[in-house]
């Protein structure tokens, strides 16, 4: 009985110490996407749920706009705080690489997510959680070509963001036909007007790929509805929004490409927490996508998208 009580007390003390250590574990997430952006709000939801599930301190930071200088400064500030782990997106390795390498040199465990799978290991990150953007674009192009497309537009709302550029590159390779990149800003009105002008100039356009459902996919859908071409021109988009998924379900768009960004927020935090607790870490990159959501699956995903999970 005495031995049993002693072992039980030791186990309890160990558990209490482990709980305290986990609560004191700090993880900082620095991304290029603002928490208010519908896409990135889902990432933040994943980050916050993992923080609750694993009882760790997590701080999410992002520049106010797509600004690599500002993002690099945020990474440098995070390194100065000496957290246990750092989660970063890498839309521009040239701009962010030195800051990430400083984090690794300081002994901070780094995991990349969303963008940067091609440079993550070179910069010293333990692994990457996300989708291969070029391959995802390739799959989208192949599928849209199978639907009979020959002349396409790829709407890019952040030209210079390597991940988005790769999506258009992969799409062009998979599509095989005539592909024009339409550079736009995040302004929905600009996207609508520029897309309608492009279709007016070239009526042979039969395919449109947007690189973000809420940012470009929804304005593109509105443009097609305005000119009476919704359902006539094949419209697809990367990422999800409840509105775009409803369009897929209604036949006004053909599919959405889900990279499951909730996992991009959740898994890096979970992996770093498990590493702090048990020394565990996956042995390679974790693909969170792509998954094509078509009309059959769209109704099931709409609710989860509205709740900020898909």
Q: What is the pTM of this model?
A: 0.79
CB distance 162 to 134 below 8 Å: no
Burial of residue 136, with CB atoms counted within 10 A of its CB: 0-12 exposed, 13-18 middle, 19 or more buried = buried
Query: Which residue has 């959740």 as its token pair?
Result: 266
Q: Which pLDDT value is given to residue 3?
A: 35
> Which CATH superfamily includes the segment(s) 2-131+261-279?
Response regulator (3.40.50.2300)
Taking residues 123-140, report their average pLDDT.
Answer: 96
Where do the structural domains in the chain lie, given as residue ranges? Answer: 2-131+261-279, 133-258+294-306
Asked if pLDDT for residue 6 goes beyond 50, the answer is: no
Taking residues 116-128, report their average pLDDT.
Answer: 96
Q: What distance lies between CA 92 and its chain's CA centroid?
A: 15
Q: Give per-residue pLDDT as tens, 183-209.
A: 999 999 999 999 999 999 999 999 999
Q: Give per-residue pLDDT as tens, 45-97.
A: 999 999 999 999 999 999 998 899 999 999 999 999 999 999 999 999 999 99
Q: For the chain, first and last CA: distance in Å?
A: 52
Q: Give per-residue pLDDT as tens, 10-36.
A: 443 444 444 445 667 999 999 998 877
Asked if pLDDT for residue 300 goes beyond 90, the answer is: no
Q: Which pLDDT value is given to residue 11?
A: 42
CB distance 164 to 182 below 8 Å: no
The token pair that represents 65 in the structure block: 């706009």
Asked if pLDDT for residue 250 goes beyond 60, the answer is: yes
Asked if pLDDT for residue 9 goes beyond 80, the answer is: no
133-258+294-306 under CATH 3.40.50.2300, yes or no = yes
Q: What distance lies between CA 177 and its chain's CA centroid?
A: 27
Sign for the CA dihedral angle at 262, 264, 265, 270 comes to positive
Q: Give per-residue pLDDT as tens, 160-184.
A: 888 899 999 999 999 999 999 999 9
Q: Which pLDDT value is given to residue 22?
A: 62
Query: Which residue has 């990432």 as its token pair?
Result: 43
- Residue 262's φ and ψ, nearest 5 degrees, are -55, -40
DSSP state of 37: S
Indicate the average pLDDT of the chain: 91
Taking residues 100-110, report their average pLDDT.
Answer: 98
| Banded model confidence at residue 126, pLDDT cuts 50, 70, 90 | very high
Alpha-carbon span 224 to 227, nearest angstrom: 5
Asked if pLDDT for residue 117 goes beyond 70, the answer is: yes
Strands 255-258 and 291-293: antiparallel
Residues of the chain with pLDDT > 70, as a percent, come to: 93
Q: Give per-residue pLDDT as tens, 38-49.
A: 889 999 999 999
Q: Which pLDDT value is given to residue 68?
A: 95
Domain 2-131+261-279 and domain 133-258+294-306 have a common topology = yes
| Banded model confidence at residue 158, pLDDT cuts 50, 70, 90 | confident
The beta strand positions in 151-280, using DSSP E, are 151-156, 178-183, 207-210, 234-238, 255-258
Asked if pLDDT for residue 229 goes beyond 60, the answer is: yes
């Amino acid at each position: 009985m005495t031995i049993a009580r002693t072992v039980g007390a030791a186990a309890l003390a160990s558990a209490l110490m482990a709980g305290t250590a986990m609560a004191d574990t700090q993880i900082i997430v620095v991304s290029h996407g603002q928490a208010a952006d519908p896409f990135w709000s889902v990432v933040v939801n994943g980050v916050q749920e993992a923080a609750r599930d694993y009882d760790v301190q997590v701080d999410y930071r992002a520049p106010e706009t797509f600004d690599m200088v500002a993002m690099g400064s945020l990474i440098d500030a995070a390194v100065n705080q000496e957290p246990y782990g750092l989660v970063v997106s890498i839309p521009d390795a040239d701009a962010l690489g030195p800051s990430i390498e400083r984090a690794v040199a300081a002994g901070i465990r780094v995991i990349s997510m969303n963008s940067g799978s091609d440079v993550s290991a070179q910069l010293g990150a333990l692994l990457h959680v996300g989708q291969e953007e070029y391959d995802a674009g390739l799959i989208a192009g192949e599928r849209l070509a199978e639907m009979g497309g020959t002349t396409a537009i790829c709407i890019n709302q952040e030209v210079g963001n390597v991940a988005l550029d790769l999506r258009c590159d992969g799409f062009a390779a998979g599509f095989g036909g005539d592909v024009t990149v339409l550079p736009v800003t995040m302004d929905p009105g600009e996207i609508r007007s520029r897309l309608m002008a492009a279709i007016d100039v070239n009526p042979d356009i039969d395919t449109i790929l947007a690189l973000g459902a809420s940012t470009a996919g929804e304005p593109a859908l509105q443009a097609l509805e305005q000119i009476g071409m919704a359902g006539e021109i094949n419209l697809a988009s990367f990422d999800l929004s409840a509105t775009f998924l409803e369009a897929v379900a209604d036949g006004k768009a053909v599919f959405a490409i889900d990279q499951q960004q909730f996992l991009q927020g959740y898994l890096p935090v979970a992996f770093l927490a498990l590493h702090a607790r048990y020394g565990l870490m996956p042995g390679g990159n974790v693909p969170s996508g792509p998954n094509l959501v078509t009309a059959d699956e769209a109704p099931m995903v709409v609710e989860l998208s509205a709740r900020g999970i898909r």
